[in-house]
Chain A
């Protein structure tokens, strides 16, 4: 059994702020939207006060395709955080999106054995509702197997 069991995990709930609100509002609609610089076109994540490429403050959120590549990952074995202990071992991944090179997104690798996390593997976004207000962008292998009892509803953006 190499699938992580996420069903008993209690995730901390993100609290949107002035910079991050549009990200979470889009995610709630099943859309992955990142902050983009209107001056130079650079996509960035996490959101910030300025464009990290050209220092412009003219920034707006735009939808991006939810496909990308695993840039890095870790497999968590330590059960220090009781909320995540039921899922151990689990893969947390860093994704570089096709539309936003250098903007690194964090997610878990869902619907696949944690051993499937490898640098360079192709992934796509899926959305996992956490509360009435918050929906988490998550990732699964592109063209991956969805035959999992705790598979999140797929609403790609």
Chain B
């Protein structure tokens, strides 16, 4: 087990207003989320001395303007002018989970005392993906000429292999979409908080890239979320109950850019991240009371459940049936609605929900008696990270 388990904790969390597309510059959303997280902790902004983010804009072909379409660490520093700032970082190889892990490391090293991590996501007006122009450069020269544009198709190919190799039925995914939507009805920050989704809606929805229909794809939004990390000792003196970090892991394998469609690449990447998380925390999948697993596309949840070890390969579509992923089920899943129903703010929404469930602060959607809360943030193959939060140090 990890000697540093439960030394760092999540304290406050914050959400910005979420809109379907950009109405105000993204910096306003990021600032709103960061202020809310600091306030939730009961801290003053001047207490914050560490900053971390992952600022990527996943919508391709749009201008990267700091403050409008991304919110970098520099942008946040320019806005906040923190008098006691002592550490900051922007990560690249793994998504926002990497920024959280770096902040944990900085707190363990004593490089800062109260770190804020935010993820701000821009949804440009008009077309989300402005696809490659006349020419296909770099890795896209082997994919774009064949009509591979946005990420849906790139993610869909492995899913056909999954379904046909495992003799599975895509209609079973309706359970995931509908259950997550019901969870979103209990999350006031969810984009689809008030919008119902039935099994029939899922089954009758238009196909995007087979096997993905509309409701297999998350909903792009403009918004931001943030959390405050500090040492467990300091966290106990703050307003919210802490969520203790028992272990983490990150995707440790990567395949050559431009290689798409490999199902085994997903499984290896997911396992590489989860293995260390289980080892560090000393828990196994059977110990987990609630899980958040990244769902940019629905199939990522299946790959996550299987590669993290919650069920066997090829069984996830059956595993999610029969009420198992409901709030009172054996493994409540994506209890805030996930990216499918709460909105695409990458993995930090999942991490925040994992922390809230561990600290008993998830309100109407709180799962009973949570001791061990698991998070798989971001799609395992691309930028995956995994976390375990617990309600009490052990």
| A residues in contact (CB < 8 Å) with B | 9, 11-17, 20, 44-46, 48, 52, 71-78, 80-81, 83-84, 87, 89-90, 92-94, 104-108, 117-120, 130, 136
**With A46-B256, A77-B206 in contact, do A12 and B160 touch (Cβ < 8 Å)?**
no
| Contact status A72-B209, CB under 8 Å | no
List of 10 A-B pairs having minimum Cβ-Cβ separation, nearest first: A14-B141, A94-B261, A74-B156, A75-B210, A72-B161, A119-B164, A12-B136, A46-B258, A72-B157, A77-B207
Residue of chain B at shortest CB distance from A84:
B147
Say whether A81 contacts B259, CB under 8 Å: no
Is B46 at the interface (CB under 8 A from chain A)?
Answer: no
- Residues of A close to B135: CB separation below 8 A: 12-15
Q: Which residue of B lies closest to A102 (CB)?
A: B262
CB neighbours of A81 from chain B (8 A): 131, 147, 149-150
B50 → chain A, closest Cβ, in Å?
Answer: 36
The answer to whether B260 touches A94 (Cβ under 8 A) is: yes
Q: How far is the CA of A107 from the CA of B147 in the complex (A)?
A: 9
Chain A residues with CB under 8 Å of B128's CB are: 80
**8 A-B interface contacts by CB (under 8 A):** A14-B136, A46-B256, A71-B262, A72-B263, A78-B209, A80-B127, A84-B149, A108-B147
1/0 contact string of B165-206 vs chain A (CB within 8 Å): 100000000000000000000000000000000000000001
How many chain B residues touch A (Cβ–Cβ < 8 Å)? Answer: 49
* Distance between Cα atoms of A44 and B262 in the complex (Å): 14
Assess the A74–B160 pair: CB atoms within 8 A: yes
Minimum C-beta distance from A64 to chain B (A): 15
Residue B44 interfacial (CB < 8 Å): no
> Which residues of A are found within 8 Å of B255, using beta-carbon distances?
52
**Distance in angstroms between the alpha carbons of A14 and B263 in the assembled complex:** 26
User: Judging by beta carbons under 8 Å apart, are A71 and B261 in contact?
Assistant: yes
Q: Does B323 contact A (CB under 8 A)?
A: no
**Which B residues touch A106, using CB under 8 A?**
142-143, 146, 148, 260-261
Task: Pick the contact of B147: A45, A71, A76, A117 (CB < 8 A).
Answer: A76
Known: A78-B152, A81-B131. A48 touches B256 (CB 8 A): yes
Residues of B within 8 A of A13 (CB): 134-136, 145
Q: Which residue of A lies closest to B128 (CB)?
A: A80
Cβ–Cβ contact A119 & B147, under 8 A: no
Check B140 for interface membership: any CB of A closer than 8 A. yes
> Distance in Å from the Cβ of A118 to the closest Cβ of chain B?
7
Contact bitstring B253-284, A, C-beta under 8 A = 1, else 0? 00111111111000000000000000000000
User: A76 contacts which of B136, B138, B153, B164 (Cβ < 8 Å)?
Assistant: B153
- A46-B259 contact given A12-B145, A106-B142, CB 8 Å threshold: yes
Whether a CB of chain A sits under 8 angstroms from the CB of B28 is no
Question: Known pairs A14-B142, A17-B138, A76-B147. 14 more at Cβ < 8 A?
Answer: A13-B136, A46-B256, A71-B161, A71-B261, A74-B211, A76-B153, A77-B209, A77-B210, A80-B127, A80-B131, A94-B260, A106-B146, A106-B261, A108-B147
Most buried by B among A72, A75, A94, A105: A72
Q: How many pairs of A and B residues are in contact by the CB < 8 Å rule?
A: 135
With contact pairs A78-B152, A84-B147 given, residues A15 and B141 touching in the complex (Cβ less than 8 Å): yes
Complex CA distance for A72 and B154, rounded to whole angstroms: 11
B277 to chain A, nearest CB (A): 26
Decide yes or no whether B86 CB sits under 8 A from chain A: no
Please state if A12 and B142 are interface contacts (CB–CB under 8 Å). no
B393 within 8 A of A: no
Complex alpha-carbon distance, A86 and B286, angstroms: 50
Residues of B within 8 A of A108 (CB): 146-147
In the assembled complex, the CB of A117 is this many whole angstroms from the nearest CB of chain B, namely 8
Q: Which of B145, B159, B165 has the most CB of A within 10 A?
A: B145
B110 close to A (CB within 8 Å) = no
Task: Say yes or no: is B208 at the interface (Cβ < 8 Å to chain A).
Answer: yes
B382 at the interface (CB under 8 A from A): no
Q: In the complex, what residues of B have CB within 8 A of residue A90's CB?
A: 147
> In the bound complex, how far is the Cα of B165 from the Cα of A118, in angstroms?
10
Q: Nearest A residue to B156 by beta-carbon distance?
A: A74
CB contacts (< 8 Å) of B207 on chain A: these are: 75, 77, 89
On whether the beta carbons of B147 and A73 are closer than 8 Å, the reply is no
A74 x B141 contact (CB < 8 A) = no
| Mask of B122-137 contacts with A, CB within 8 angstroms, 1/0 | 0000011101111111
Which residue in chain A gives the minimum CB-CB distance to B141? A14
Q: Verify B164–A12 contact, CB threshold 8 A.
A: no
One of B144, B158, B161 near A12 (C-beta < 8 A): B144
B329 CB–A CB distance under 8 Å: no
B132, B157, B258 — most chain A CB neighbours (10 Å): B157
User: Which residues of A have CB within 8 Å of B257?
Assistant: 46
